[in-house]
A and B are shown apart, each in its own frame.
Chain A
Amino acid sequence: DQQVKQNSPSLSVQEGRISILNCDYTNSMFDYFLWYKKYPAEGPTFLISISSIKDKNEDGRFTVFLNKSAKHLSLHIVPSQPGDSAVYFCAAYHSGGYQKVTFGTGTKLQVIP
């Protein structure tokens, strides 16, 4: 049951360049999308979200883009910093009910100094 898919298990980027993490979803009921960041031995930390009525949301160095027709979203980090090295989870939920979050499998980002 892969309702949220992250096809790239890992990504390496040079410090200062742009990191682009991609995510696809299949469930049309999802109307909120989130990105969580996870360091080893810690829980997921909320990073940024986007509603399905928008196609872009920006917060500092982080921008999330949503292409609803393609059921695709991406997280852009610019400029990338070594402290951004972590596993990034794409997640989604439907705003009805108690909003259980469905996660992707994660992409491990390494930012090389």
Chain B
Amino acid sequence: EPEVTQTPSHQVTQMGQEVILRCVPISNHLYFYWYRQILGQKVEFLVSFYNNEISEKSEIFDDQFSVERPDGSNFTLKIRSTKLEDSAMYFCASRLGLGSNQPQHFGDGTRLSIL
């Protein structure tokens, strides 16, 4: 079964550094999402992306965050200047369409640790 793949599985970065988290969505999917889960908290929506532009974003997704689909397969989340509170699991998800029988499929996540 096709999968959403995320790399790296664990990223350790110094505070203030830029970090790029990478995702390869399922190949024929059209809608892409990033979520994050801070340790001990719930999974929170960050941003959705469709037709090469952001379709919706949460208040967490401030100017430090950006997303890009640089080619036909990758979907990236960039954090420009990382803060300690950015430490979390980041999950990428993709979806074929918006039908009720087309749920979001999640990758296994990238654990981001900011030192």
- Asked whether A and B interact, the reply is yes
List A residues at the B interface (Cβ < 8 Å). 32, 34, 36, 41-46, 49, 51, 89, 95, 97-106
Q: Which 9 A/B pairs are nearest by Cβ-Cβ distance? A: A43-B106, A103-B43, A46-B103, A100-B45, A98-B48, A98-B55, A105-B42, A43-B108, A44-B106
Q: Whole-angstrom distance between the alpha carbons of A34 and B103 in the complex?
A: 9
Q: Are A49 and B42 in contact (CB under 8 A)?
A: no
Q: Whole-angstrom distance between the alpha carbons of A105 and B91 in the complex?
A: 15
Q: How far is the CB of B31 from chain A (nearest CB, A)?
A: 7
List B residues at the A interface (Cβ < 8 Å). 4, 6, 31, 33, 35, 41-45, 48, 50, 55-56, 58, 91, 93, 95, 98, 100, 103-109
Q: Are B98 and A51 in contact (CB under 8 A)?
A: no
A-B contact pairs, 18 of them (CB 8 A): A42-B108, A43-B4, A43-B93, A43-B108, A44-B43, A46-B103, A46-B104, A46-B105, A49-B103, A95-B98, A98-B48, A98-B56, A99-B48, A100-B56, A100-B58, A101-B45, A101-B104, A106-B42
Q: How far is the CB of B90 from chain A (nearest CB, A)?
A: 10
Most buried by A among B33, B43, B48, B58: B43
Q: How far is the CB of B72 from chain A (nearest CB, A)?
A: 20
Closest Cβ neighbor of B48 among chain A residues: A98
Q: How far is the CB of B30 from chain A (nearest CB, A)?
A: 11
* A residues near B42, Cβ cutoff 8 Å: 89, 103-106
* A residues near B48, Cβ cutoff 8 Å: 98-100
Given A98-B56, A100-B45, A104-B42, the answer on whether A45 and B106 have CB atoms closer than 8 Å is: yes
